[in-house]
Amino acid sequence: MLSKWWWRFVSNPEDLWVSVVKAIHGGATAGISSIIPIKKYIPGLWKDISSVDSALEKMGVSLKENLVESDGRWKWRPEVDGTFLVKQVRLDLEMVNNDPEHFIYGWNSWAPPKFNYLLWRAIFSKVASRVGLARRGVPIPDCSCPRCGLNAESPDHLFFNCLWSRSVWWNLLTWMRISFPIEISKFGDLIGFIQNKPGSAKWKRVVYTVALATCWRIWKGRNDMVFEGRFVLVSNIVEQVKEDVLLWVSNWSTVPKPSWEEWRSFDISVML
C-alpha cells in the first residue's frame, strides 16, 4: 500500500501535496532517488514511504525497476495499462519469494476477523502451544501433545502433524476432492499448498475459507481437551467446519448459497 504513493507522486506532479513534499524533501542535500526525493533525517510518514524500496528489494522485487514511465505515463511495468495495482505488487512478491519469513498472508473477508488472526498466528508459530509457552518462560511440566502424547506440542504439530489434526485435514480435503499432501510437514506449507491449487478464483476462496474454519476448530478442539478434558471426535470437527463455512458464505459473501445437501457433497457449482 505504501509503495503506491511512489506512483501517486510521479503521476500527479501538479497536486498540492506533491509540491509540499518537494518543498520539504527536495534540494541539493536531499539525496534524491531516481523517482522520489527524500531527506532521511526528517521523520514522518514520507520517510516510511521511501523505505518501501529497500524493503521490497530484500524480498526480491525492485520498485525502481518495475515502476517505469512509458508513453508519458507511469506504470507498474509496461504491460500494466497505466494504473498501479497493489494486487500486482503482491502477486510479484509471491512469485519471487516462497520464504516463510516473507509469507504474504491472504485476508479472507468471508470469515470473521478472529479466524483470520488465528490462522496468521498459527502460520508464524505465534500461538500459545505448550512449546510456545515454554519458550516464553512459562513453566510447563509436560510439553507433549495433550491429544496424541507422541510429540511435543509445537504449532506445526498442533495444527497439522498430530494424528488427530491430520485426520481432520484428510477428511476435509477428501470432501473437497483435494489429494492429501503426505510430503508436507509444516502447517504454513499446507496453507500454501491449498492456496496454490488450480481452480477458479471463487473455488479457491471457498477452499481457503474451509482452511480458516478448520484451523479454528482444531484450536478449539485442542483447548477443549486441555482445559475441560473433553476429547472432540474428528467427525464432529469435520461437521462443525462444514457448518461454519456455509454460515459464513450465506452471510458474509454475495455468491449464491448452495443447499445443505449440495454443500454436504461439495457441489458448489451454484457458487461459481
Tell me which of 74, 99, 124 is where a domain ends.
99
Are residues 235 and 144 both part of a single domain? yes
Note the pLDDT of residue 107. 83
User: Could you tell me if 36 and 120 lie in one domain?
Assistant: no
**Is-above-0.75 flag for pTM?**
no
Number of domains in the chain: 2
Same domain, 200 and 75: no
Please report the pLDDT score of residue 181 as a whole number: 94
- Measured CA to CA, the distance from residue 159 to residue 224 in angstroms comes to 15
**How many Å is the Cα radius of gyration of the chain?**
23
The answer to whether residues 75 and 196 belong to one domain is no
What are the residue ranges in the chain where pLDDT is below 70?
Answer: 27-34, 78-82, 94-105
Q: Please tell me the predicted confidence (pLDDT) of residue 78.
A: 65
The pLDDT assigned to 100 comes to 47
Element at 210 (helix H, strand E)? helix 201-228
Asked if 139 and 230 touch (Cβ cutoff 8 Å), the reply is no
Same domain? For 170 and 243 the reply is yes
Q: Give CA separation, 2 vs 5, 36, 254, in Å.
A: 6, 13, 29
76 and 128 share one domain: no
The predicted structure's pLDDT at residue 243: 97
At 231, phi and psi to the nearest 5?
A: -85, 120
Domain limits at 133?
Answer: 105-271
The reported pLDDT for the residue numbered 67 is 85
Name residue 234's beta-bridge partners: none
Amino acid 180: pLDDT: 95
The per-residue pLDDT for 30 is 46
Q: Do residue 154 and residue 226 come from a single domain?
A: yes
